[in-house]
Structure 1
Amino acid sequence: MIKPEGFNKILLEGLLVYGKEAYTLSEIRKKCWEFLKPQINFEKYNINPDQVKKDIKLMSIPVDFLLNADLK
């Protein structure tokens, strides 16, 4: 989710869900960047893409189970 937050700032929130493969933190960071890069209008918000790539922060969600499904 991309939300404007103040002057020339954007708050990026996301959840990376992956299959059975294990990834290193650098691989996860790379996948996040590959997902985010085409979705951000860097010129419109006057944002440096290299800074965004560098500032991506990762954290785990401390839960036993996570449900990601469409409920009908």
Structure 2
Amino acid sequence: KDSMYNTPNTFGIYVLALVAEWVEAQGGLTTMAARNANKAQMLYDLIDRYPGVFKGHAVKHSRSQMNVT
């Protein structure tokens, strides 16, 4: 009567908890955002230094920190 139609994704919930604990141990979301911004900047600086190797599609002010564009 009051049971669930489907079993919840318990493994996904477990992995989410592990990742959340890891992010917190690294300093939290603010620290992770700063680290990722730094990594993206280093990558784009390298790409800009060698324009013959890779030419991005996005203008500089619209570049993604998640995907090289």
Q: Is the structural similarity TM-score above 0.5?
A: no
Which structure has more helix as a fraction of its residues? 2
- Structure with the bigger RCO (C-alpha within 8 Å, sep 6+) is 1
Q: Which of the pair has more CA radius of gyration?
A: 2
Would you tell me which structure has more strand in proportion to its own residues? Answer: 1
TM-score, with length taken from structure 1: 0.29
